[in-house]
């Protein structure tokens, strides 16, 4: 048995059924091993796309998402999406080909030390040492990715390691790849319960790993048990996330904030007293030492308690220990009302009669509600924020706290793979769709239909709005785009295309896209409005 076979069998034992990959010389033994190992390869058009897809797979399934790319330039192409996966707390295993260990230092084809390149972006980065230990190496990587604050890991696969005979090495146990569990001690648990009981307006904030898509009804159950609002935050716009409406006002009024893995960083205004009152006390529960230190730096003496444990395990303990109440029904209703606020009117016309972003989002929402099962993808700058504010579904993936755009098309492809019975809607701007446009061909080739809706305002509108605000309308440069017919490009790549300029035609075009049974692009010309800011009155 080769190292490649041991690798694939180990992945199979971990429950891996799909690998997102772009082929290359050094990883051909792994491709060959997948034939006997029963793992499907979704073959992409760019290495970065493979990582974005693994990220989405991990978010939707809770399993390790696996991306496999070739050495040096292939590994370098995968770097950007690793940052997104790290910020979104997604357990992704990046496997990269590598030049043979036996040729180290000799100038082998694509010889490059990849570990220092990926280390700052991952929880663990290492180079496999031998075929015999490859199974244990992969097991350690998977366990690390899933444990604590989830995140990406990287293993470089030297060609002579995956080609070599394993010498009878055995597979690691399934337990060796399971996430570590932890929990609070009784003293800390009692302290939280006591502080909660004394609070009139507590808030519980969660990071991406505890959102509703990944944890189902856990947050709703936790909210009822604690009798306190529980809010997941996963947007780089933080308190100005349009999907959170006026939530910033709730934070201003809170007298206790419990962070379940939510970093106290720029998305919370660094926890400054202008964001939450000087008398508000904070409890931070986080398994990441760097985040605990950051909380201490930013909160100072307002940090009443800091606990080193996995936030998900802490949530489970709190649900077991608390009994629930109705004493804060008014506060919970107030916060829910603030979050539901929107500062725009869907019926308001756009400039020159154009479709507005709000109108486009509302039309997509009608399609979501008509579907038996739907997954929503939101990606992009200004239009991505409109999409978050105006659409919702039981399962949603956004471009996350990294602020990077461009992965939406890849997220949608992975979502259709993970949820084969769902209708997948991916909303993105015309800037966003250009990053991985060729993946429409991947979707057509793999017969993975989904609907991409482009809010086309012919510019990079987030940056355009910055220029207008900070420099003035006579200082606009470099942010304009053309009226490109993305719908025609998608049709040429094997999909279905729709082009819409009139609001009266929008619902029918979306309906045809859904009914086409193909990967579809609905290219909608819109009025490029600034996104709602979460500052409604």
Q: What is the mean pLDDT of residues 133-149?
A: 97
Q: What is the mean pLDDT of residues 115-142?
A: 97
pLDDT of residue 216: 87
Q: What is the mean pLDDT of residues 487-508?
A: 98
* Mode of pairing for the β-strands spanning 423-429 and 395-398: unpaired
- pTM for the structure as a whole: 0.96
Give 227-252 pLDDT, tens digit per residue.
999 999 999 999 999 999 999 999 99
pLDDT > 90 fraction of the chain, expressed in percent and rounded = 91
Confidence of residue 447 (pLDDT cuts 50, 70, 90): very high
pLDDT of residue 534: 61
Give 66-75 pLDDT, tens digit per residue.
999 999 999 9
At the fourth CATH level, the homologous superfamily of domain 3-177 is Thiamin diphosphate (ThDP)-binding fold, Pyr/PP domains (3.40.50.970)
Give 371-388 pLDDT, tens digit per residue.
999 999 999 889 999 999
For residue 537, pLDDT beyond 70: no
State the fold for domain 186-340: Rossmann fold (3.40.50)
Is it true that 186-340 and 351-525 share their CATH fold? Answer: yes
Specify the DSSP class assigned to residue 175: G
For residue 31, pLDDT beyond 70: yes
What are the strands of the beta sheet with 374-379, ordered from one edge? 395-398, 374-379, 423-429, 451-456, 520-525, 496-500
SS3 479: coil
The span from the CA of 332 to the CA of 347, in Å, is: 30
Average pLDDT, the chain: 95
Alpha helices in 115-229 (DSSP H): 115-118, 134-146, 159-163, 186-198, 212-215, 218-226
Question: Structural domain boundaries of the chain?
Answer: 3-177, 186-340, 351-525
Does an H or E element contain 42, and which?
strand 40-43
State the fold for domain 351-525: Rossmann fold (3.40.50)
pLDDT of residue 324: 75
pLDDT of residue 531: 87
For residue 536, pLDDT beyond 60: no
Confidence of residue 260 (pLDDT cuts 50, 70, 90): very high
* Mode of pairing for the β-strands spanning 395-398 and 303-307: unpaired
pLDDT > 70 fraction of the chain, expressed in percent and rounded = 99
CB of 146 closer than 8 Å to CB of 90 = no
pLDDT of residue 26: 95
């Amino acid at each position: 048995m080769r190292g490649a076979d041991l690798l694939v069998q180990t992945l199979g034992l971990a429950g891996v059924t799909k690998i997102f990959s772009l082929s290359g010389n050094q990883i051909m033994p792994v491709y060959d091993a997948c034939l006997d190992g029963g793992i499907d390869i979704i073959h992409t058009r760019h290495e970065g796309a493979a990582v974005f897809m693994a990220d989405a797979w991990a978010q939707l399934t809770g399993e390790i998402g696996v991306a496999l790319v070739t050495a040096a330039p292939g590994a370098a192409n995968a770097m950007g999406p690793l940052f997104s996966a790290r910020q979104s707390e997604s357990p992704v295993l990046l496997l990269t080909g590598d030049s043979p260990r036996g040729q180290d230092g000799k100038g082998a084809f694509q010889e490059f030390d990849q570990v220092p390149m990926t280390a700052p972006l991952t929880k663990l980065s290492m180079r496999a040492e031998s075929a015999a230990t490859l199974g244990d190496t992969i097991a350690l990587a998977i366990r690390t990715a899933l444990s604590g604050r989830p995140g990406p890991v990287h293993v470089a696969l030297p060609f002579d390691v995956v080609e070599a005979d394993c010498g009878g090495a055995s597979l690691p146990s399934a337990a060796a790849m399971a996430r570590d569990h932890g929990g609070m001690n009784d003293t800390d648990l009692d302290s939280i319960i006591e502080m909660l009981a004394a609070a009139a307006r507590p808030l519980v904030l969660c990071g991406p790993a505890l959102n509703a898509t990944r944890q189902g009804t856990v947050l709703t159950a936790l909210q009822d048990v604690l009798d306190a609002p529980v809010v997941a935050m996963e947007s780089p716009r933080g308190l100005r996330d349009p999907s959170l409406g006026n939530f910033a006002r709730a934070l201003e009024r809170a007298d206790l904030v419990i962070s379940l893995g939510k970093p106290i960083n720029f998305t919370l205004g660094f926890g400054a007293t202008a964001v939450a009152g000087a008398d508000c006390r904070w409890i931070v529960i986080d398994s990441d030492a760097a985040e605990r230190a950051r909380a201490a730096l930013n909160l100072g003496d307002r940090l009443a308690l800091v606990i080193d444990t996995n936030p998900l395990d802490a949530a489970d303990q709190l649900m077991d220990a608390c009994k629930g109440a109705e004493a804060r029904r008014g506060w919970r209703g107030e916060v829910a009302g603030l979050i539901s606020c929107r500062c725009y009117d869907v019926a308001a016309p756009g400039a020159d009669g154009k479709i507005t972003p709000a109108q486009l989002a509302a039309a997509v929402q009608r399609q979501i509600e008509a579907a038996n099962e739907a997954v929503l993808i939101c990606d992009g700058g200004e239009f991505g924020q409109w999409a978050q504010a105006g659409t919702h579904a039981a399962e949603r993936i956004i471009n996350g706290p990294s602020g990077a755009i461009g992965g939406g098309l890849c997220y949608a492809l992975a979502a259709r793979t993970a949820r084969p019975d769902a209708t997948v809607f991916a909303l993105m701007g015309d800037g966003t769709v250009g990053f991985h446009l060729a993946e429409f061909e991947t979707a057509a080739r793999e017969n993975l239909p989904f609907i991409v809706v482009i809010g086309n305002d012919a510019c990079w509108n987030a940056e355009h709005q910055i220029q207008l605000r900070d420099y003035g309308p006579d200082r606009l440069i470099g942010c304009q785009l053309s009226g490109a017919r993305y719908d025609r490009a998608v049709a040429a790549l094997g999909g279905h295309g729709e082009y819409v300029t009139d609001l009266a035609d929008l619902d029918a075009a979306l309906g045809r896209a859904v009914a086409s049974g193909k990967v579809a692009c609905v290219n909608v010309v819109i009025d490029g409005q600034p996104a709602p800011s979460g500052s409604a009155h």
